[in-house]
Amino acid sequence: MTLRAEAITVRFGAIEAVREVTASLSPGAITAVIGPNAAGKSTLLRALVGVVRPEHGRVRLGDLDVHRATARAIARRLAYVAQRPVVAAPFSAREVVALGRYAAGRNERRVRAAIDELDLGALADRPFATLSVGQQQMVTLARAFAQVPDDGVLVLDEPTSAMDLRHVRQVAARLRDRRRRGLSILIAAHDLTIVGALADEVWIMVDGRLVEAGPTDVVLSPDRLERAFGVPFTRLARPDGGTILTTIPSPEESSR
C-alpha cells in the first residue's frame, strides 16, 4: 500500500518542524528516515499517520486522505509505534497486543501469532507497566503486528532504541519477514548499522527538510552523511566482505 506526503508543512508556533516535504513510501519495502536530532523525523512520522495535522499539504494512504478519513479507517490499513510506549490503563502485555484488533475486530489467532512471532509468551500475562522499556517496545510492536494487514503500512519511531542486541536482531528478522509478505515499513532510526542492514531506501532529513531520498547504497554514502550530520564518515571493511559506516574521530579525539 502506498503512503505519500504531498508538500506537507508542520508548524508549532513559530517553528517549522517539517518544511514542504514530498515523499512516497515504496510498497512492500523498508524505508528508513535518518537525520540529526530535531531534524523533524518524529514529527514527519506523526503527520504521516494522522496524529499531527499539517499546516499545508496532504497525506494519502492508498485512496484515503489521512487527515479527512476516520481513525478506524486508517487503523485498518496502518499501524504506528511511537518512540515511547505509553499505556494508561493497568493492562497485561497480552491485553496490550489485543488492542491492535480494536479497529478491525477481535481475532485471537492474530493476537497469539503476534505474541509468538516476537517470543513474548513468557511475558504475556505480566502487567505492561512492570516490563522494562525494551520489553514494552517488543509488546507494542507485537500489537502493531496483530493490527496491520500484510499489504498495509507499518510506521515505527525508534522502535529498538531500548532493546538489547539479541532483540534488535530478532526484530530486524521479523520486519524482513513482514516485508516479504508485502508490508510497507517506514522506520525512524539513529543506528546507521541497522539502517544499512535493514532498509531498502533511506530518507535524510535536516532542519525539517527532506534533503536526500533514494536506495540505501546510494544515500548512505560518506559525503551525503557528512553534509547531513556535520561530521566526517568513512567505510570500514567487515570480515564477511561487507562494509560498515563509521564516523572519523577528530585529531583532538584521536590523541586522547
pLDDT one-digit tens code per residue, 26-53: 999 999 999 999 999 999 999 999 999 9
| pLDDT exceeds 90 at position 125 | yes
Spatial separation of the C-alpha atoms in residues 62 and 30, rounded to whole Å: 17
Of 166, 171, 170, 167, nearest to 156 (Cα)? 171
The alpha carbon torsion through 112, 115, 120, 121 (nearest 10 deg) reads 10
The residues, any chain, with a CB within 8 Å of residue 6's CB and separated by 6 or more, are 22, 57, 58, 59, 60
pLDDT bin (cut points 50, 70, 90) of residue 240 is confident
Predicted confidence at residue 110, as pLDDT, reads: 97
Average pLDDT, the chain: 95
Tell me the β-bridge partners of 127: 92
Q: Is the pLDDT of residue 255 over 60?
A: no
CB 51 within 8 A of CB 71: no
How many whole angstroms separate alpha carbon 226 and alpha carbon 208?
Answer: 17
Q: What is the pLDDT of residue 252?
A: 63
pLDDT in tens, 186-198: 999 999 989 999 9
Closest CA to 138 of 80, 97, 179, 186: 97
Q: Which pLDDT value is given to residue 46? A: 97
Helix (H, G, I), strand (E, B) or coil at 11: strand
Which domains can be identified in the chain, with CATH numbers? 3-88+147-219 (3.40.50.300), 221-256 (no CATH)
Task: Kindly indicate the confidence band of residue 219, based on its pLDDT and cuts at 50, 70 and 90.
Answer: very high
Q: What is the pLDDT averaged over residues 72-76?
A: 97
